[in-house]
Amino acid sequence: MNQTLLVELLTEELPPKALAKLGDAFAAGIVSGLKSRDFLEADSLVTSYATPRRLAVSITNARAKSPDKPMREKVLPVSVGLDAEGKATPALIKKWAAMGFEGAPPVAQFEKAVDGKNETLFHNYTAAGSDLKTGLAASLDDAIAKLPIPKVMNYQHPDGSTVAFVRPAHKLIALHGKDVIPVSALGLEAGRTTLGHRFLSKGEVTVDSADSYATQLESQGKVIPGVIERKEKIRTGLLAKAGGDQALMPEALLDEVNALVEWPVVYECRFEDEFLAVPQECLILTMQTNQKYFALTDKQGKLRSRFLIVSNIETSDPKHIIGGNERVVRPRLSDAKFFFEQDKKKKLADRLSGLANVVYHNKLGTQAQRTERVKALAGKIASSLGADIALAERGALLAKTDLLTDMVGEFPELQGIMGTYYARHDGEHEEVALAASEHYQPRFAGDALPSTPTGTAVALADKLETLVGIWGIGLQPTGDKDPFALRRHALGVLRMLVEKRLPLSLSELLSDAAQLFQGNANFKPATDEVASFIYDRLRGLLRERGFAQNQIEAVVAQQPDRLDNVIERLEAVKAFAELPEAESLAAANKRITNILKKAETGTSSVQKELLRESAEEGLYSSMSQLKPQVDDAFARGDFAGTLKSLAKLRESVDAFFNDVMVMAEDPALRANRIALLSNLHGMMNRVADISKLAA
């Protein structure tokens, strides 16, 4: 009879950061094992549970016994298994025993069938299904063995036996409906009892059936076993306590807190207003990182002096819980305040010499040397953009100095952010101050771009110096490995060039970056490889924006040096592809490309007197009339107009390929026709390589 199956492993407190993975892996391992052994139906539903002290899984519609299965097992070739009289040979008798069967081989029941080149004996029989106890025991052992345990503990049972697991395990439940399945794991025999909340329950909870597990655990044990349900209770409680304020609830923090509590209750705490003089990023980070607290801000994003905690204890008088947490957070905030005040006593500019003691990479020198490289490149970029060169160089010079501050030493996540605060305190120009944090942008997908010309110049310089420098010492990404985040740096460069429409030459940027490393024996220029790497990232970026692969390739295959108009080019290609003439012209362009690849290089000028066929004269005439219009549209940046103009050439192009033999025997005629096609090819591919649109 099919019923719900429940398996629970009760342990000491599990590692919070590993809990979700352990819970999923435990459930997946058991499900996989049972499914492979045919104990589950197609519509069996799986529910995974994980709390700080338990891993569990519930599976509906689990079979008590796996079904019988028809089997067809290869035995031996007929020539080996049977003698001349058709009786079993010693080899067959031995094989039959090795297959686990008793008695003499039933020769008359064997099937004879061709297998490859030989006629072979096959044994057809029905294998009896196994009971759930056998299937679950094996599945449970497999699941436990494959758990992604961060660090194994060895502990002893009262009988002296040693067990290795992530944490000591105390109880095992295995229920099929209301019945206990007598399996064992980690030295524990399965039963139907578990433990509820350490303080809020009366202790043991006897689970009546697999279907009542979650309900009983919540009502009798004061434990919410479901990870999602518990997390949503935390989120709801935080929002309710926040009132008109905003609760800062990063998902990673929610997940970690969720792995620390079985019965979450939210309480409100406060700290002294004097701490609000410290940059709020410092206070928020110390509350989240060190204490797992949830900070509150007003609707404008300004930090409040009250915060929220998630406790594992529910009480009508939480004053001791609240008071204890307020006492704990105060020294942390005091440390942040002390670091901030101490750091302000020394200007960022006075810390520059200290960068010479910080190694950037043993093949690329110190942070001081890197700073000089970024400064030089930022100045060139600012000059190209018409921005203030002095500000860009100053911003680059100070960008990394906050790495030497006490605050960033304590909280590395605040690098850049603290640089902006300290630069403002030092009286630096606002753009210089912002560059300290903005030069890290964009730090992740969807992150904001630098808001100022100075920040943009320094951010580009910083990322290009990293890309070119790290690649130049042979540490380019391989497979999934990208320890220096070069993919992220390339995407950052692309986003700034494309989204901010910066009129910069990519080849010049890479060349300027490579020149920074002149004299470094460890560095080997690889600007072409870096450029290809960047264009590959561009393809991915454009795919995310919804452009078709062939449209992207039409533009990117030409490796455009300026990327500020790449979106306009793509939009133009997209519009051109919808024209009725597009398919024919794309196919013709592809044909022209192939012809030009094979043709001998020669003059690109067309001699009118050598145009003999009316079709080639017609094409030349159409091109001559259309060229001023195409040139004008392209010069104005009207890429859509440029491509749409080409539609007028369709009839002339089709007629040319129908009536004209390009590879004429006369060398002069052949060269002239190739020159005509070369000019046409150039006119057609100014915006994009439209041959990529051909099917």
Q: Provide the pLDDT confidence category of residue 54 given band limits of 50, 70 and 90.
A: very high
Q: Are 4 and 169 spatial neighbours (Cβ–Cβ below 8 Å)?
A: no
The percent helix, strand, coil of the chain (3-state, each to 5) is 50, 15, 30
Mean pLDDT of 629-642: 90
Predicted pLDDT at 402: 97
H or E, element range at 166: none
Domain containing residue 607: CATH number = 1.10.730.10
Do 110 and 46 lie in a common domain?
no
Mean pLDDT of 459-479: 95
Strand partners, 246: 297
CA dihedral 174→180→183→188, nearest 10 degrees, is 70
The DSSP output letter for 62 is E
Q: Residue 295 — left, alpha, or beta (φ > 0 → left; ψ -120 to 50 → alpha)?
A: beta
User: Which of 60, 65, 62, 58 lies closest to 207, judged by CA?
Assistant: 58
In this structure, the answer to whether residues 248 and 310 fall within a common structural domain is yes
Polymer length of the chain:
695
Cβ contacts of residue 277 below 8 Å, gap of 6+? Answer: 337
Annotate 599-654 with DSSP letters as a single string.
SPP------GGG--SHHHHHHHHHHHHHHHHHHHHHHTT-HHHHHHHGGGGHHHHH
The helix (run of H) or strand (run of E) holding residue 40 is: none
CA atoms within 13 A on the CB side of 173: 28
Which residues, at least 6 apart from 410, have a Cβ–Cβ distance to it below 8 Å?
A: 335, 336, 339
Token output for 365: 């020198």
pLDDT in tens, 401-434: 999 999 999 999 999 999 999 999 999 999 999 9
The verdict on 193 and 239 lying in the same domain is no
Residues 247 and 382 occupy one common structural domain: no
Same domain, 44 and 157: yes
Residue that finishes a domain, picked among 100, 127, 154: 127
Mean pLDDT on 530-552: 95
Contact by Cβ (8 Å): 277, 323: no
CA distances from 578 to 522, 569, 575, 584, 681 (A): 51, 15, 5, 12, 20
Distance spanning both ends of the chain, measured CA to CA: 57
Domain boundaries, position 179: 3-66+131-219
For the chain, the domain total comes to 5
Displacement of CA 343 from its chain's centroid (Å) = 36
Task: Report the alpha-carbon distance of residue 514 to residue 524 in Å, rounded.
Answer: 9
Which amino acid does the sequence have at 77? P
Instruction: Assess if residue 557 is contained within a domain.
Output: no
By the 10 Å C-beta count (0-12 exposed, 13-18 middle, 19+ buried), 316 is classed as exposed
**pLDDT confidence of residue 129:** 85
Say whether both 92 and 137 belong to one domain.
no
SS3 296: strand
pLDDT tens string 478-499: 888 999 999 999 999 999 999 9
Confidence at residue 101, expressed as pLDDT on a 0 to 100 scale:
87
pLDDT for 600 beyond 80 = no
Q: Please give the torsion angle defined by the CA atoms of residues 350, 352, 358 and 362, in that order, rounded to the nearest 10 degrees.
A: -160
Residues 162-189 have pLDDT tens digits of: 999 999 999 999 999 999 999 999 999 9
- Tell me the three state secondary structure of residue 189: strand
Tell me whether residue 562 is in a domain.
Answer: no
Mean pLDDT of 284-297: 96
One domain for residues 253 and 285: yes
Cα→Cα distances 300→246, 276, 448, Å: 9, 15, 18
Residue 127: what pLDDT?
A: 81
Report whether 225 contacts 23 (CB < 8 A): no
End position of a domain, from candidates 546, 561, 587: 546
Whether residue 433 is found in the same domain as residue 507: yes
pTM for the structure as a whole: 0.79
pLDDT at 603 over 70: no
Q: What pLDDT is attached to residue 203?
A: 85
For residue 408, give the CATH number of its domain: 1.10.3210
Model confidence at 68, pLDDT cuts 50, 70, 90, reads: confident
User: According to the model, what pLDDT value does residue 125 have?
Assistant: 87
Q: Are strands 153-156 and 294-297 parallel, antiparallel or unpaired?
A: unpaired
Q: What would the DSSP string read from start to end of 306-367?
A: EEEEEES---S-THHHHHHHHHHHHHHHHHHHHHHHHHTTS-SGGGGGGGGGSEEETTTEEH
Backbone φ and ψ for 113, nearest 5 degrees, come out as -150, 150
Among the three residues 191, 219, 247, which one is the final residue of a domain in this structure? 219
Tell me phi and psi for residue 458, to 5 degrees.
-70, -40
Residue 397 lies in a domain: yes
In a domain? residue 55? yes
Label residue 602 by pLDDT band (50, 70, 90): low
Residue 159: what pLDDT? 84
Q: Are 501 and 449 in contact (CB under 8 A)?
A: no
Stretch 295-322: mean pLDDT, rounded? 96
Inside any domain, residue 556: no
- Considering the domain architecture, whether residues 102 and 146 belong to the same structural domain is answered as no
| In contact, 441 and 395? CB cutoff 8 Å | no
Q: Which residues contact 435 (CB under 8 A, 6 or more apart)?
A: 391, 392, 395, 396, 398, 399, 450, 452, 454, 455, 458, 459
Which backbone phi and psi does 134 adopt, to 5 degrees?
Answer: -65, -45
Quick: pLDDT tens for 185-202.
Answer: 999 999 999 999 999 998
pLDDT at residue 323 is higher than 90: yes
C-alpha–C-alpha distance, residues 567 and 287, integer Å:
43
pLDDT attached to residue 128: 83
Give the Cβ contact number of residue 95 at 10 Å. 18
The answer to whether position 20 is within a domain reads yes
Q: Which residues contact 681 (CB under 8 A, 6 or more apart)?
A: 589, 592, 593, 596
Q: What is the pLDDT of residue 599?
A: 79
Asked whether the predicted pLDDT for residue 244 surpasses 70, the reply is: yes
Considering the domain architecture, whether residues 480 and 527 belong to the same structural domain is answered as yes
pLDDT above 80 (res 521): yes
- pLDDT tens, position by position, 246-268: 999 999 999 999 999 999 999 99
Q: Report CA 72 to chain centroid distance, whole Å.
A: 46
> What's 10's DSSP letter?
E
**What torsion, rounded to 10 degrees, do the Cα atoms 590, 596, 598, 600 define?**
180
- For residue 343, the model assigns a pLDDT of 97
Q: Report the pLDDT averaged over residues 546-555.
A: 93
> How large is the greatest C-alpha to C-alpha distance in the chain, in angstroms?
107
pLDDT in tens, 202-215: 889 999 999 999 99
Indicate the helix (H) or strand (E) that contains 689. Answer: none
Q: Say if residue 317 is in the same domain as residue 426.
A: no
Please identify which residue in the block is written with the tokens 């790449």.
566
In the numeric block, the tokens 């969807």 are attached to 446
DSSP letters, 136-155, are HHHHHHHHHHT---SS-EEE
Residue 275 lies in a domain: yes
- Please compute the mean of the pLDDT values over residues 368-372 and round it to a whole number: 97
Structure tokens at 478: 């391989």
**Which DSSP symbol is given to 692?**
G
| Domain membership flag for residue 45 | yes
> pLDDT confidence of 71, banded at 50, 70, 90?
confident
Band (pLDDT 50/70/90 cuts) for residue 601 is: low
Q: Give the chain's mean pLDDT.
A: 94
Question: Which of 57, 40, 39 is CA-nearest to residue 48?
Answer: 57
264-283 per-position pLDDT tens digit: 999 999 999 999 999 999 99
| Rounded-to-integer distance, Cα 639 and Cα 398, Å | 42
Q: Same structural domain for residues 507 and 411? A: yes
**Closest by CA position to 685, among listed 581, 555, 547:** 555
